[in-house]
Amino acid sequence: MNLNNNPALIDQLAASYALGTLRGGARRRFETLARDNAPLRAAALIWQSRLASVAELQPELAPSPAVWKRIENLVSADQQARAMQAARAASQAPVSAPASRWWSSLGWWRGATAAGAFATMIAVVTGLSLTQHLNSQVRELSARLSQAPDIQYVAVLADGKATASMLVTFDPKNKKLVLKRVSSFQAQPGKSLELWALPPGAAPRSLGVLADQPVMQLTATESGLREVPMLAITLEPQGGVPPGSGPTGPLLFKGALLQTAK
């Protein structure tokens, strides 16, 4: 069958492809053909663009005013994250990619340091089911950042699906590391969550085992957290791993640690 001699068939296939009703093997064959066949590819693009206007013809409906408030808050947080990232990039030499054996084996870690600040905020804004809860957390966090100048580091730890789960703030003066849960995740009985600092080029260092409360406090020193681009939480045996050893369990949440001042 020579498609190029059959413009009607080209148009018909392209329309079904763009509509989405061309499925399975037929769809895959179409895609293979279109890669080598410019008229077919062009017809598909024309139909995709025509059908995109279906959206333009849908009846209008007013969303609740709360939607704009939520967008506004998240956009402000996004702006703030960009500013923080810029400030951080300006004040620090680039950190080399971390290379410890344990976490270099996990592909989804990579490239996270430089993009960390922005990616973290994306993590915040894409956690759909959590957004409302999160909005208030972000507002509260912003308020705290402006009122409490001694909080100099902040991190949002998210899971692999970029759903934020933990907010971390660090006050170096008082050596206070505060963790707030923003999701309902709980370790199963007999297991504990353990927080790790991931210094570049060195093994993960335990910062402590988390209790079950929604807000937890750990003690940490600034020298222990300075130059640490990432924090992570793993699932470990109850009580955590023995002192001095590295993580043994699966990685649950991670996020960039951002300096808020300077």
Partner 1 sequence: MTPESPDTPLIALLDRVALADESALRELYDLTSSKLYGVAVRVVTNREWAEDVLQEAYLTIWRVAGDYRATLSPPMAWMGLVVRSRGLDFLRRRTAERADHVQELDDVISDTVAGDSPNPMDTTQASEQAWALHQCLNQLDNKQREVVSLAYLRDLSHGELATQLKLPLGTVKTWIRRGLEQLRGCMARFA
Residue 133 or 176: the one with the smaller Cβ distance to partner 1 is: 133
Task: Please give the residue ranges that form the binding site for partner 1 (CB under 8 A).
Answer: 11-12, 15-16, 19-21, 23, 49-64, 66-68, 70-72, 74-76, 78-79, 82, 122, 125-126, 128, 131
Q: Taking a C-beta distance cutoff of 8 angstroms, is the pair 122, 115 a contact?
A: no
Q: Report in angstroms how near the CB of residue 186 gets to partner 1 at its nearest.
A: 18
Shortest distance (Å) from residue 71 CB to partner 1 = 5
Nearest alpha-carbon partner for 34 in 65, 13, 49? 13
CB of 3 to partner 1, least distance (A): 16
Q: Which residues contact 112 (CB under 8 A, 6 or more apart)?
A: 119, 229, 230, 254, 256
Count each helix (H run) and each strand (E run) in the chain, helices first. 8, 8
Half-sphere exposure in the Cβ direction for 122 (13 Å, CA): 9
Q: Give 117 or 125: the residue with its C-beta nearer to partner 1.
A: 125
Report in angstroms how near the CB of residue 45 gets to partner 1 at its nearest.
10
| Residue among 121 and 230 whose Cβ is closer to partner 1 | 121
**Distance (Å, rounded) from C-alpha 191 to C-alpha 188?**
6
Is the Cβ of residue 13 or residue 155 nearer to partner 1 in the bound state? Answer: 13
